[in-house]
Amino acid sequence: MAGFGQDAQAVKAADGSRPKPRKDDAMVDRKPNAADTNGKREAPLDVLIAGAGYVGLTAAVSLKQARPGLAIAIVDAAPAGVWQKDGRASAIAAAASRMLEQLGVWEEIAPETQAITEMIITDSRAADPVRPVFLTFDGEVAPGEPFAHMVANRDLNGALRRRAEKLGIDIIEGMAVSAFDTNGAGITVHLADGATLKARLLVAADGVNSKLRDMAGIKTVKWEYGQSGIVCTVAHERPHNGRAEEHFLPAGPFATLPLKPDKDGTNRSSIVWVERSQDAKALVEGDEFVFEHDLEQRFGLKLGEIRVADKPRAWPLGLTLARAFVAPRFALAGDAAHGIHPIAGQGLNLGFKDVAALAEVVVEADRLGQDIGALDVLERYQQWRRFDTLQMGITTDVLNRLFSNDIGPLRQVRDIGLGLVERMPRLKEFFIRQASGLSGDTPRLLKGEAI
């Protein structure tokens, strides 16, 4: 991996080449920057992306694949290789799979993914011996195309990195963006080691606690749920047959998501188990026996004996919505723009939608010879994404408030609601379409089309 040492080495692509300056770029301040080495002037970038999570990587690949002439680099604060330690898995909607296929990434990860062919929803208490099923979803968005897949986070990140490297995108690891300033012509980005990079556009994909969002002066609407999501992998005796389950329990949802069996053929599922934060902390830091006992009470024994297959971790949950997605030469994407409750497993899928919309807007502007960092260009992206994001944020918030409690009358109302949806095939089809990410004004990449 290319990277900056203490003495600010120059940016280099993973294949050893340097970012190519755009010959037609009159907008950028071409003064040498602190990334120069050996008296050589480092070329300004077209796009600098802060954050090599799924969103930052996908943004870089989407832009570079459509416009190979753009000089693009990514800087990430995490030390090299940290991403390989992420043991989580994510539900990837059909639209996101189409996008990854178009970007030349899906083919590599597909053999390791697990299709979700059915989803059931129950509403009960943890100790209830029987959990009546209120709602079931199954079917495909197109013949042979399930509405979602489970993907291991490190498989996805690894495949995106390899694709980025192949396209000649620089990935600078262990280096945080510490400040930036915008002038009319470009943006100067200061890195933690004192080096600077110049670009026409800075994309902040630095996660839910985005420092770049603060640096840009963008305010958020934000609250904590007092809940944490415990995530771990569970090995079980019998196959899951592609079935996902979500049990609405008083402290929060408990979801089991089917994973592909491991190399030894062990059946596995990923769980997202939401508890009040102090209970979640006690569970993950406490006695393993207590954890397994409480897990078994929720998971049940329908898939036979179960065993915790990796170290459980808890993630605090909240809602964070940025009040603006853009500023001059600056755009937020992914969790940096919106952190939502995982009750619908849509956080990353929203991030993919941001990337698809941003890439489409930027590529179109570049083709027309417009300035890709100009505010009026970036506002098209903001207009495209803000309402959808707000809608999803509110929906997950309402669902969490409606279901994460044990108030008798409320339980009756919501169970009647679930039962009604179950009897309306059209409405169920609508929800499947929503969950697959293929509804509304879908950007081209999410339809599987090139930009």
Ligand X SMILES: Cc1cc2nc3c(=O)[nH]c(=O)nc-3n(C[C@H](O)[C@H](O)[C@H](O)COP(=O)(O)OP(=O)(O)OC[C@H]3O[C@@H](n4cnc5c(N)ncnc54)[C@H](O)[C@@H]3O)c2cc1C
Binding site residues, ligand X, CB under 6 A: 50-56, 75-78, 90-91, 176-177, 205-207, 211, 229, 231, 272, 315, 334-335, 342, 345-349, 351
Shortest Å, Cβ 348 to ligand X = 3
- Give CA–CA dist 54/154, Å, rounded: 10
- Give CA–CA dist 253/399, Å, rounded: 10
Strands 118-123 and 133-138, bridge-based pairing: antiparallel
Closest listed residue to residue 97, CA positions, set 357, 390, 348: 348
Shortest Å, Cβ 143 to ligand X = 24
| Nearer Cβ to ligand X (335/388) | 335
Shortest Å, Cβ 335 to ligand X = 4
Shortest Å, Cβ 446 to ligand X = 13
| Nearer Cβ to ligand X (232/372) | 232
| Nearer Cβ to ligand X (43/348) | 348
| Nearer Cβ to ligand X (57/371) | 57
44 and 23 in contact (C-beta within 8 Å)?
Answer: no
Shortest Å, Cβ 113 to ligand X = 13
Left (φ > 0), alpha (ψ -120 to 50) or beta: where does 344 sit? alpha
Strands across the sheet containing 47-50:
170-172, 72-75, 47-50, 201-204, 330-332, 326-327
Strands 177-182 and 187-191, bridge-based pairing: antiparallel
Q: Tell me the CB-side half-sphere exposure of residue 279, using CA atoms within 13 A.
A: 12
| Nearer Cβ to ligand X (205/418) | 205
Which phi and psi angles does 91 have, rounded to 5°? -85, 120
| Nearer Cβ to ligand X (9/27) | 9
61 and 116 in contact (C-beta within 8 Å)?
Answer: no
Shortest Å, Cβ 129 to ligand X = 28
Amino acid at 256: T
| Nearer Cβ to ligand X (88/428) | 88
Shortest Å, Cβ 313 to ligand X = 9
| Nearer Cβ to ligand X (66/208) | 208
- Give CA–CA dist 176/182, Å, rounded: 18
356 and 443 in contact (C-beta within 8 Å)?
Answer: yes
* Residues 6+ away with beta carbon under 8 Å from 402: 410, 414
Shortest Å, Cβ 355 to ligand X = 9
